[in-house]
Amino acid sequence: MKGRFWRKALAAVLALLVVSGNVPIRPAADLFGGVAITASAAEIAGGTCGDGVTWSFDGAGKLTISGTGDMYDYSMNDANNPWNSFKLDITSVEIKNGITSIGIYAFYNCSSLTSVTIPDSVTSIGDCAFERCTGLTSITISGSVGNQAFQECTSLTSVKISKNVTSIGSYAFFGCTGLTSITIPDSVTSIGSYAFERCTGLTSITIPDSVTSIGSYAFLALRGLTSITISAGVTRIGRDAFRGCTNITDVYCYADPAKLTWDDRNCNDFKAGKETICHVPAKYYLEYVKKFGDSVNVTFVGDMGLGEHHSITLDGGIGVNFYVELTDALLASETAEMVFTVPNGSKTDTQTLLVKDVIAVGSNKVVIGGKTYYKFKCSISAKDMASTITAQLVDGDKAGTKYTYSVKAYADYLLEHTEGNAEYTKAAPLVKAMLNYGAYAQSYFSIGGTAANEKLDDDDKALDNVTIPAKFEYDDNASLPTGVTFEGATLSLKSETTLSLYFKGLPAETVFTCDSKTVETVKDGEYVVARIRGIKATELEDDFTVTFKGGSVKYNAMTYCYNVLHDDTVDDNLQNVCKALYKYAQAAKTYSE
> pLDDT tens per residue, the chain (593 residues)?
333 333 333 333 333 333 333 332 223 323 222 333 334 443 457 899 999 999 999 888 999 999 999 999 998 877 778 998 888 999 999 999 999 999 999 999 999 999 998 999 999 999 999 999 999 998 888 888 999 999 999 999 888 888 888 999 999 999 999 988 788 888 899 999 999 999 988 877 778 888 999 999 999 888 888 778 888 889 999 988 888 888 887 788 888 899 999 987 655 667 655 677 888 876 787 788 888 888 888 888 765 433 344 566 655 578 888 888 888 888 999 999 999 998 776 788 899 999 999 999 988 887 765 568 888 988 888 888 888 888 888 988 888 777 777 888 888 888 887 877 777 888 899 999 999 999 999 999 888 889 999 999 999 999 989 999 999 998 888 899 999 999 999 988 765 788 999 999 999 999 999 987 889 999 999 999 999 988 888 889 999 999 999 999 999 999 999 999 999 898 899 999 999 999 999 998 898 87
Tell me whether residue 163 is exposed, middle or buried, using C-beta atoms within 10 angstroms of its C-beta: 0 to 12, 13 to 18, 19 or more. middle
d(CA 355, CA 360): 9
d(CA 223, CA 156): 18
Neighbours of 363 (CB within 10 A): 6
In this structure, the strands spanning 144-145 and 124-125 are parallel
CA distances from 73 to 67, 140, 149, 313, 437 (A): 16, 21, 13, 52, 47
What is the pLDDT, as a whole number, of residue 272? 57
Alpha helices in 18-166 (DSSP H): 28-32
Residue among 197, 257, 209 at smallest CA distance from 233: 209
Separation between Cα atoms, residue 235 and residue 542, nearest integer Å: 45
- Domain residue limits, the chain: 321-371+381-462, 470-592
How far is the C-alpha of 19 from the C-alpha of 44, rounded, in Å? 7
The 10s digit of each residue's pLDDT in 384-419 is 888 888 888 898 888 877 777 788 888 888 888 787
Pairwise CA distance, residues 255 & 231, whole Å: 6
Under 8 Å between Cβ of 210 and 189:
yes
Tell me how far CA of residue 315 lies from CA of 312, 321, 323, 377, 390, in angstroms. 9, 11, 17, 12, 22
Q: Are 486 and 478 in contact (CB under 8 A)?
A: yes
pLDDT at 21: 33
- Can you give the pLDDT at residue 313? 61
- In 3D space, the residue among 15, 108, 111 whose CA is nearest the CA of residue 55 turns out to be 15
Query: Under DSSP, is residue 190 helix (H, G, I), strand (E, B) or coil?
Result: strand
CA 191 vs. chain centroid, Å, equals: 16
Amino acid at 374: Y
Q: Are strands 190-191 and 337-344 parallel, antiparallel or unpaired?
A: unpaired
* pLDDT score at 78: 72
